[in-house]
Structure 1
Amino acid sequence: MATKQISNKTVADHVASQGSADWPTVTASTVSKWRHGRHHPQLRMLPHIATAVMADPADLAIMLNVLRASHSGDHQVELSLRVQQLQAELSEVYAELSEATARQIVTSRQTGLVALTDRVLNSAGWALRIQATYAGAQGRELHLANRLTFTNDATPHTTHANVRRVFGPELRRLNASLADPPSKPRRRSAEPWREPSLMSAGRSLESWINLDPVESSASFSMPVYAVPTIPKREGPPPRFSSVIVLATTVRSWAPVFARHLADQLGYGYTSSLDLASAIYDKTTDDVSSEQHAEAAYNLIRNPPDRHVSCHYEAPHARASRTTEALRGASLRDTLVIWLSEDDRLLKLAVPTVSAGVGIDQEIRLLQSLRSSIDEEIQRLPSMKHSVDLVISERSAELSASDPASVRDERAQYTLTKVAEVRRALVLEGWVEPALSKS
């Protein structure tokens, strides 16, 4: 237990007050044993311990060595989901706090965001700006991520490496990955630095506006929408107990597709990258190809009940075990949704797949992988549904010069595809119309 300024008795009283009839006795002595590693609390206690010490339950779970790579595949999936559930439950606890506190809650990783801001304010020369990244049609925007931009007055050029050296633990807690360079926003201003901030620390708004973002800052992206959630559905269940969404590359927008479908069904959402991130205590950027492939294999072979699980191959396509997992999987109660990307989408993914390899070679690899997965899915005895994904030639050309407008288009396109799938599930009789939300 990392937080020592809160007394053992305070923690014990809070945890004991939340207990059920079968709750073990919790005293100040019990908490002392937790702090010194002589004993471990039950996993179901973690949300209440986390609330008492204002910590992230995922951090507590890692301190307790709950998630270890040595666990079997089904155990990995189960434990990762339990940690994700703890984070979501803690988020709901914070959401019930005072209005002033609730206004600051941006994501389920709220405690990590506050911890990062505190670190910035107490680190000489550093400043942080947090901006929301939206995508989609006006009035139906999705809050996809928060852009975290760092500067340091002591250095003429702030690098990602410098930021990670100082704020690595906080960024890992937020699962923040390297962000694309600043681009033209889709509305409000021709200069992205003039977009409204969600939060700014260590620097006035005017100084941010006058800052050269390319020369003087380093940016990270913190996911907001496609993050793990817990099931919330009530009412008659669909004919399937779980859903797996598979795709070849991230250009499919598979995480957003799966998360939106999960919301429609009232199911929880998770992904192979989130699973690997939880197991190996790494950001999704730092997860290796082999770790991602192992997590995907276990997720496909052991899909969690009442969840929509997502996996896409690239940028870890060379280590793929997806066809192997599908070949031996028993998925009779699982709906498999295959997002089949056209060649333009595959080509757009190539620069993010690997460097130093011929583009044609990479495209052929992705095309071959797409065909192999498609063949294995068609052989499955389970319920399955294929979705053809395309991108226009114009949008493909604009993806580099005007990524914000293409992002809007792809978000709207993805939500449209989810609506089509939802209607198809109702027509097949796999989902009750009442479960199909607008």
Structure 2
Amino acid sequence: MRKYKRIFVVVLDSLGVGAMLDAAEYGDAGVNTLGHIASYRYQKKKALNIPNLWKLGIANLTALEGMEPCKSPVGYYGLMQETSCGKDTMTGHWEMMGLNTTVPFLTFPNGFPKELITELEKFTGRKIIGNKSASGTEILEELGEEEIEKGHLIVYTSADSVLQICGNEDIMGVETLYRYCEAARDLTMKPEWMVGRVIARPYVGKKKGEFKRTANRHDYALKPFGRTVLNALKDAGLDVISVGKINDIFGGEGITEAYKSKSSVQGMEQTIELASREFEGICFTNLVDFDALWGHRRNPEGYACELERFDEKLALLLAALCEEDLLILTADHGNDPVHTGTDHTREKVPFLAWSPSMTRAGMLPESPDFARIGATAAENFEVPMPEGTIGNSCLEELC
């Protein structure tokens, strides 16, 4: 029989908890996103205030300055390694649902090839400017006025496998920007140009100092290369509800209902609202602000404040859950805000699990992959894992 009627998986995007054994191969020796945020706050004599994460066992996974480990966590807690190659959003999320990515997605740290840029210019009728690795906010300050005044098009990338296109909502229009991104997605299906995501980056404002990106971002991601646990759950007639960018990450595969979020706070509010609704299956939430607003911008104080805002909403979600619900909190990679550069970091991630019906708690063995999550959901709903997927369930322990 099914142990849980509903499983809520909430991804705190980029909340790594310490370097993986192969982190040095990725230029990430010594990284620890959560640990370094706690240290930053401790040095500022303002300890990180996350009481709900603390009681779930987060401080038992890595040393946090100013915070003792919880002596009696209320749920189960553990670490998960990533077995896939890479440290990007899609790789991490796909692995959660059973896929092992053995070849990392392409990156273009020095800009995209001339041939690709020429094809984009032909389609859009606009001169491409930028074409380099850059911060999204900084490139708007640098080139936003030129894009508006001359009708050019800002294209840029980052250390991730992405091609990003900026467009002013009031002048270019969101639909035009989306059309350009759809064309870019088609072009980048060629093996030599294949990025994981093409991202539409709409913004408002007319001059430097006023530019602001809006919530109408849209990701055009590659579809998973195989069937995931989400497909299996959907095919079994279960609800698979996505919140935030989950639907984009999976290219809509295996999703029965999708909600976009304007912020991580709204994403938690949507998840809390869904907890008050009847459904049977999984609610899969991604909270992107940790990564997009604070990790990539190397802002430990902003990251710390976002964690505290999340913890306040977490209290409401915990109170909204029923006896037949299971909550799993995790991350998809790291993004250490005190590390060099602006890239993701190769880190272990937390696995925190709680249900009002649990009668025991404790530390779980470290998982060799993130696929523990999908495998646990599949076993709970008595759905076979799709062929070729990885992962071992820990459902038996979650009681």
Q: Same fold (TM over 0.5)?
A: no
Larger Rg: 1
Larger relative CO (CA 8 A, sep 6+): 1 or 2?
2
Q: So what's the TM-score if we normalise by structure 2?
A: 0.31
